[in-house]
Structure 1
């Protein structure tokens, strides 16, 4: 069996969620690539030994990357990861014009896979990229991988099955040409981890009020609430309550929700203690953008609580000039614990293939 470590290059690395999980699994991350320079400080503060490369993948050349990182082509030990920004394929209402360029990122990532022919390839994205696999380039990419000797796993996974205390469905592709085994993320054989398992005073999160500012690296900072939203939240039952508590109050109910008991109930809602959290989006710090109310305190969840529900270690240091930038980094991240489940599956496959 080879004792060489698998080396990973993480394209579209952002603040390092995927890289963090791969490190936890035992994979050596040699570099993270992202065009957004604001991710650099966070990435370098946490992903030890990896180089942050600021580059636009549309302009980055394969040979330049090969020379810079001293990579080898046709290397069984090489893993290329491509978790491109996914707003264009998301079911959430976003500005598709602004994100239109991102729809071709998978095609650009494919250039590097074709050039390096690595032992392993990982792609992680929203389920929409699979529903529109022809337009996204995914269908052609999978065909190319299979034609060139890769065993391909491509499916939608619920990350709460892999140790993440959050409901979040993600498309995951794992391609392997080291052997003929299909590589799947390694699921937990235990009950799902819930909000109660990771948040609350018993987990090191002291009670705070809305608008709390925490300048320490722990970032237990909470957005402020106006008087109307504070009143709404105070009337919302603890542990999973919704806007239905005041749906018939013309003063309190948002005009579009007044007397409407159907439709989106998560808006202005509280999380449940004994369930995984809802999907942590880039707006998780805002009470009015989803079920992001604390289960019992009259506030939205804090930045650190959002990161914890994304399965980042509590020691993970986020560096950013604003709450919005940090929350975007957290909300867009691949949950590290899910990435670890992918990394462990790849290592196990590699060991099996080299015996």
Structure 2
């Protein structure tokens, strides 16, 4: 009793601790759409995933799931997901789960009907509506927002046309990108599933998406692991031979000889393994029909129809019509029959104890056999439409081993736990402990896995249609090997010859050790070198330069070709562009608008085609608060005179956009504006842009404070509509300290000078002439130019308006850190061409300014 009380106390204290930390441990759960007989669900069920909802059109298939206890009965939803009832039932169960568990659903798996997409279906009609069931799945994912989504379908799946939610017909790949691309990173690949755990041959398109905020996992981490499939003999060779139609094995009615028209037996009886009935020399032994006493030969539409399957090969693909001789690869290697249900179950990895109907336990009784006849077609169709169990189980296992163990939730928002034992090699590289000195000396901060994945995926996209061509890739800043590991994942599907270099010899030694075993690369070389000092002619063979170049600044070296810029990342960009047709880098977000990147921005915009800009916000580095972007650039002059499109994705704003490159990278402006829209353009047209220049000095700070002297003006002293706001934290400096600043400001050209908070998300200005007795510190920027009295009044009011706030946030690309009012960003402090409505300005107290 005492022990029980102590355990109860410990549990209560643990509960209090969890509540105090506002942290919830992750659970594994899933939703299955178009779940058929629950075969694909078995993999998740056996990996202890909780079924939130499983939806299927046909009641007899839902009944199979109920019998096998795939989920609680109320979670088995029978009906058409295009109808409000079943659709809302899935959403209702999801909301109930989220409210109770304080976390989202882990995964949604969808296998919408594929007949309209399959090359094996020669009777296609108007399948657009059927294919558009994919869109209903996408809508569920949008509403549920699972951590992971999975689509499995026929190879043509992603290229098949569907009717989008907006009523426009487009390929399924584009629909997924349009509707889910803002929230997920996904990857799609056509796989031969027999190489990935399936006991039988099955070529399928597999698409896996990971939510943007699950940065420690990539879609390729969750793909099924490679595994050699058994030969058919190993799989079913132990089952009894069946020679008579209707015969079944003792104590197993699922292993029975399905009867067919006896006249067809002669067509297959003499076939050896691998032969088709169409190969028979005797016309009467070839598939035919009799019309008015004449033999009419059947047309051989598929080469594997009426074909006897070999023993010593991987089991054939299980098709929906696996019940007839005329279908593909359905004939047993020795017996004159199609494969039995038991054999098909093994080909799909379904365990022997799976129950298909209530009477199944009545082994070989008359009632049992009659029930089997009733259910046989449904069972066979369920098996033909399913995902092999080992494949879904591998995916579920990967989620359970490399995603959820490191996941906690706070207010349903995912947080990555800090642990010492990571699951994947990519995670081990990303979260490698780096000594502080190395971080300082080499700017060594390593990229989150999903961020690296997103950059590499887009960089390799141009090679998707020719994946066998060897791509020469250079990674110029190896670091802990995050990009090497990411490229290694893609090298399973692309032929990649990778050279990775790093200036740090110790890092190179560690990377060589980690990659000393087998990899997916066609070739891998890791060496110690300074990318900027390497002979450019030796590097010119590369198709792609990809990675995360070092951030920070170093003293300029005018004698060096590539070290004239102080920004390290600019040095890497310039050299990479000089040697490669394509670069894909993770870079400081300041490259979009900071003045010290303006020259390289102009170079990129005028000489290359920018394909992708990915705004990662602060998602890129696990330990530091730096805003970054991904930049994918094609260095091909042939494309410069053609219409160019730029794809933009934002992690913090969860949006995607594609439009003309010249619009977002407008060279009339000193910055790139990736969130530009019609409202921004309308405001810009109403302003006289470029009216000011800017000056700022950081010599004044609180360390110079004195009890009596010259008042210091800080950003928080600047109120709405040009007001001066007192603040309890104000201070003064001596006249001696203030004098050089005041003198410098007086020398600034122009009659109009204004103070603006330098790093504020809430822009506003104050005329400096109102406080000539004061001196600004580094938190204020001085804007100077020449305005009329009316223009000045209008500018001060407009600078505090909600309209300008929205406009300026877009001009700053919604940055939260790199928004110093420098010679580029000052361009956007426009003067209204007409005096704005003063009532539109905002009036807030000084304490709200940060």
Q: Where on the TM-score scale, by shorter chain, does this alignment land: which range?
A: 0.7 to 0.9
- Higher alpha-carbon Rg: 2
Q: Residue by residue, what CA displacement relative to the aligned partner does 1:25-66 show, whole Å, maximum 9, x if unpaired?
A: 332223210121111221112243343111211113665433
Asked if residue 339 in structure 1 is aligned to residue 392 in structure 2, the reply is yes
Q: Distance in 1 between matches of 2:226 and 2:321?
A: 28
Q: Distance in 1 between matches of 2:248 and 2:62?
A: 22
The equivalent residue for 1:249 is 282
Asked if residue 154 in structure 1 is aligned to residue 179 in structure 2, the reply is no
Match 1:22 to one of 40, 44, 68: 44
Q: Distance in 2 between matches of 1:161 and 1:133?
A: 28
The equivalent residue for 2:152 is 124
Task: Name the Cα RMSD after superposition.
Answer: 2.9
Asked if residue 286 in structure 1 is aligned to residue 324 in structure 2, the reply is yes
The equivalent residue for 2:586 is none
The equivalent residue for 1:112 is 140
Task: Note the 1:117-196 alignment, pairs <5 A.
Answer: 117-132=145-160, 135-148=170-183, 150-177=184-211, 178-179=214-215, 181-184=217-220, 185-189=223-227, 191-196=228-233
**Across the two proteins, how many residue pairs are aligned to each other?**
348
Q: Distance in 2 between matches of 1:226 and 1:96?
A: 27
Shift of 1:146: 2.4
Q: Distance in 2 between matches of 1:346 and 1:199?
A: 31
Q: Distance in 2 between matches of 1:207 and 1:223?
A: 13
User: Alpha carbons of 1:270 and 1:91: their partners in 2 closer, same or farther (altered >3 Å)?
Assistant: same
Task: Note the 1:225-264 alignment, pairs <5 A.
Answer: 225-237=260-272, 239-243=273-277, 245-246=279-280, 248-255=281-288, 264=302
Q: Which moved more, 1:223-232 or 1:288-297?
A: 223-232
User: Alpha carbons of 1:64 and 1:305: their partners in 2 closer, same or farther (altered >3 Å)?
Assistant: closer
> RCO greater where, 1 or 2, for CA within 8 Å and sep 6 or more?
1
Q: Which moved more, 1:250-259 or 1:126-135?
A: 250-259
User: Alpha carbons of 1:218 and 1:235: their partners in 2 closer, same or farther (altered >3 Å)?
Assistant: same
The equivalent residue for 2:129 is 101
Asked if residue 65 in structure 1 is aligned to residue 118 in structure 2, the reply is no
User: Alpha carbons of 1:55 and 1:226: their partners in 2 closer, same or farther (altered >3 Å)?
Assistant: closer
Q: Which moved more, 1:308-317 or 1:62-71?
A: 62-71
Match 1:273 to one of 311, 336, 356: 311
Q: Distance in 1 between matches of 2:103 and 2:24?
A: 13
Q: Residue by residue, what CA displacement relative to the aligned partner does 1:184-220 show, whole Å, maximum 9, x if unpaired?
A: 323234x3222112102x2xx2121242254966511
Task: Using structure 2 for the length normalisation, give the TM-score.
Answer: 0.38
User: Alpha carbons of 1:213 and 1:28: their partners in 2 closer, same or farther (altered >3 Å)?
Assistant: farther
Task: Using structure 1 for the length normalisation, give the TM-score.
Answer: 0.87
Match 2:60 to one of 13, 38, 45: 38
Q: Distance in 2 between matches of 1:112 and 1:263?
A: 38
Query: What 5-or-longer segments of structure 1 have no aligned partner?
Result: none
On the 8 A contact 2:77/2:89 being kept in 1, the answer is no
Name the one with the larger strand percent: 2
Query: What 5-or-longer segments of structure 2 have no aligned partner?
Result: 1-22, 163-169, 290-294, 358-371, 408-415, 418-850
Three-state SS of the structure 1 residue aligned to 2:206 is strand
Asked if residue 348 in structure 1 is aligned to residue 372 in structure 2, the reply is no
Task: Note the 1:280-319 alignment, pairs <5 A.
Answer: 280-319=318-357
On the 8 A contact 2:33/2:54 being kept in 1, the answer is yes
Q: Distance in 2 between matches of 1:66 and 1:39?
A: 21
Three-state SS of the structure 1 residue aligned to 2:401 is helix
Q: Which moved more, 1:75-84 or 1:329-338?
A: 75-84
On the 8 A contact 1:283/1:327 being kept in 2, the answer is yes
Q: Residue by residue, what CA displacement relative to the aligned partner does 1:242-273 show, whole Å, maximum 9, x if unpaired?
A: 22551x21211135999999974311111111
Q: Distance in 1 between matches of 2:304 and 2:129?
A: 30
Q: Distance in 1 between matches of 2:268 and 2:347?
A: 21
Match 1:206 to one of 230, 240, 250: 240
